[in-house]
């Protein structure tokens, strides 16, 4: 499974009715495909975590990305996950400006660079280990 966090800008001011409408769709559709997560909204921003089977999450992300109720949709973080953190919620909701969350703000600044750097580092270490093993058996 994977966990994906994106941020987006609402096209119009976000109303409670609009959020209820989104949640109704989410609760109807997400459970059927094994997706859980949380929708954070406030100011004119959305942040959403989608977690679940990789294909289901990516498909849902593409569907949601096309929704005209928001734009400037950007993946902030995506990573493999062992188990859902929001398993009790087909879609939880938090009413708060996403930027008030320190780590979201940091992730947005660095976007995926840090993740890439780490993954890159691991890959390099893996290559070195393979080379060392080859040398040892030569
Ligand atoms: C910020 C935002 C988050 C959304 N999150 C979800 C979601 O988690 N699940 C979902 O099914 N639809 C979500 N939607 C709505 C979808 O874009 C789409 O309108 C909906 O899935 C259509 O449902 P239907 O195919 O059952 O008519 C979201 C929309 C927005 C603007």
Widest pairwise Cα distance in the chain = 68
Q: How does pLDDT run across 36-58, given as a tens digit for each residue?
A: 999 999 989 999 999 999 999 99
Whether the CB of 26 sits within 6 Å of ligand 1: yes
Contact between 23 and 69 under an 8 Å Cβ cutoff? The reply is no
Antiparallel, parallel or unpaired: β 70-80 and 2-10? antiparallel
> Distance between CA atoms of 4 and 74, rounded to whole angstroms?
10
Q: What is the CATH number of domain 2-105?
A: 3.30.70.100
Domain boundaries, the chain: 2-105
Antiparallel, parallel or unpaired: β 36-42 and 45-52? antiparallel
Whether the CB of 46 sits within 6 Å of ligand 1: yes
Q: Does the reported pTM lie above 0.75?
A: yes
Percent of the chain with pLDDT over 90: 51
Q: How does pLDDT run across 74-132, given as a tens digit for each residue?
A: 988 888 888 898 888 899 989 888 888 888 887 788 776 666 667 666 777 787 788 88
Contact between 48 and 85 under an 8 Å Cβ cutoff? The reply is no
Whether the CB of 67 sits within 6 Å of ligand 1: yes
């Amino acid at each position: 499974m994977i966990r994906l966090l994106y941020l987006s800008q609402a096209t119009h001011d976000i109303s409670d009715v609009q959020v209820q409408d989104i949640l109704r769709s989410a609760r109807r559709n997400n459970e059927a495909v094994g997706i859980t997560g949380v929708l954070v909204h406030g100011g004119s921003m959305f942040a959403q975590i989608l977690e679940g089977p990789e294909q289901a999450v990516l498909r849902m992300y593409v569907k949601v990305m096309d929704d005209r109720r928001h734009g400037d949709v950007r993946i902030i973080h995506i990573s493999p996950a062992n188990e859902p953190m929001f398993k009790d919620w087909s879609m939880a909701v938090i009413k708060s400006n996403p930027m008030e969350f320190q780590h979201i703000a940091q992730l947005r600044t660095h976007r995926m660079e840090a993740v890439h750097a780490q993954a890159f580092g691991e890959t390099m270490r893996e290559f070195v280990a393979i080379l060392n093993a080859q040398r040892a058996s030569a």
